[in-house]
Amino acid sequence: MFSALTNWFKVMFAASRINIFDLNPISSYPEFENGLTVSRRNSTGRDPIVWFPRTRQLISFVVITIVRIFRLKRFPKPETSSIIFVAGTKNQTEALKPIYEQLEVTQFWLSEPSIAPLRRFAYVISLLYFPCLIYQMICAKGYRSKSFRHSLEKYWLTYGIYFVIRIWLRKTQARSVVLANDHVGFYRTFNQAAQDEQVKTFYVQHACVADFFPPLIYDMALLDGLDAVDKYCNKPCKSKIFLTGIAKFNDANRVENDERNVIGVSFNLLDNEEFVKNLLRSLVSSFPKKQIISRLHPATPQNQVERISEFCNSQNILSSNPKSEDVFEYIKQIDVMVCGASSIILEAALKGVPSIAYFSEFASDVYGFVKNGLCEQAHSIDELVQKLESIQDDKQLLTATRYYCAGYGIENRPPAAKLAADIIQHSNDGPFEPHWVKLSTQNACVMEYVDDRKPTSIE
């Protein structure tokens, strides 16, 4: 009993010393500020409230905590020595599920319903760290000080999440942890807690990345392609990187169609409702004989989804529900796509469907799709219509796609999900079957699959 209490106090002390800013880059990096502001405005229909923001969040946090004390439930109980997969969103689930299904050892799927009890208890524990929060608030300078106006709750909850995850992992004796997010506070804190418990962590890329994304801090990173390597390795990188390719992608069933009768229009969270409606209205007017299918981002607020769905019905526009229809099933139905700053441009390219980028005022070519030749860009509705009328299959699309997806188009290469599963499953066992060689890169150890080399150790 005394030993258990001592261990708890050690973890509590360790939690007081975590870097809440590094664990919450979306809140503490000024590069993310525009996205935070726009997403709040789109979800609420108004600018974020600026009156007494810190006081409001303090009160809100305490009230939420009191409510959740009465809703505490038992923690999820995986089998001992399980590989824990953590997926809190649909996109993360799609990235991890193919790998999960390839494993031949004990594993446990930690989804949002299972995460909820951990998060509720984290609220309660976080109350103990109020002095730490105040200290950080007083010492913070520049943008970090400003960030407390919109992210005080996230910073405060980080302490509790770290403590709860460490205690939970210690109890379950997890073998390793697999996550699919590199910049949201909960997942980075989960990673930190696992590493401090000597549990090996893996990061699986679930979408394209931007240059300003934070450094990789996981033990191993299973990345899609060289684009991600170039962006992550422009800064110090703590992870050993494997270029596995995109696990959710199946190379079969490419779309081959010279006619462009169905136009897919895909939107990002940065695209507000007015932009969405204006773009769809213009395309309907310009292409009355073509079928148009609209697809919103899975995290689009439900009230906004309903209003846009009603608008689409009134314009005879079909809607693809991202929560129920797989992205590749959607892409199979279209011949060309119009899209903003979204990874779906890459997913369309993987199936051979050309895209034209058309950005709202808050978006830009953050993933480098236009720069690297994965798609064209239109700067106005008139230019967009002109490009849609004349678009042809680009012979350079294969090369551009391979830059984002390692092994794309290479025959007899094992599926990305299989390669990733082998690395995860055998990470503690030394040599394993896939053959990997080290690339010459700065700031990181990057491994590329080669099928004519001898097996090597992944350590």
Read off the pLDDT of residues 329-385 as tens digits, 9 standing for 90 and up.
999 999 999 999 899 999 999 988 999 999 988 788 989 999 999 999 999 999 999
Read off the pLDDT of residues 49-76 as tens digits, 9 standing for 90 and up.
444 566 677 777 777 777 766 666 677 8
Looking at every residue in the chain, the average pLDDT score rounds to 86
Distance in angstroms (rounded) separating the CA atoms of residues 228 and 212 = 12
The structure's pTM equals 0.86
Q: Does 300 have pLDDT greater than 50?
A: yes
What local confidence, expressed as pLDDT, does residue 49 receive?
Answer: 47
Taken as a whole, the chain contains a residue count of 459
Domain ranges of the chain: 2-207, 262-403
CB 163 within 8 A of CB 16: no
Read off the pLDDT of residues 173-195 as tens digits, 9 standing for 90 and up.
899 999 999 999 999 999 999 99
What local confidence, expressed as pLDDT, does residue 410 receive?
Answer: 83
Average pLDDT of the segment spanning 426-439: 72
The CA-to-CA distance between both ends of the chain, in Å, stands at 37
Q: Which residue has the higher pLDDT, 195 or 458?
A: 195
What SS3 class is residue 397? helix
What local confidence, expressed as pLDDT, does residue 278 receive?
Answer: 95
Sign, Cα dihedral of 305, 308, 314, 316? negative
Distance of CA 258 to CAs 28, 236, 255, Å? 47, 45, 10
Look at the domain 262-403 and name its fold.
Rossmann fold (3.40.50)
CB 121 within 8 A of CB 72: yes
Distance of CA 430 to CAs 100, 203, 426, Å? 20, 19, 7
CB contact set of 454 (below 8 Å; sequence gap of 6+): 435
CB 50 within 8 A of CB 43: no
Distance in angstroms (rounded) separating the CA atoms of residues 345 and 404 = 11
Sign, Cα dihedral of 236, 240, 243, 248? negative
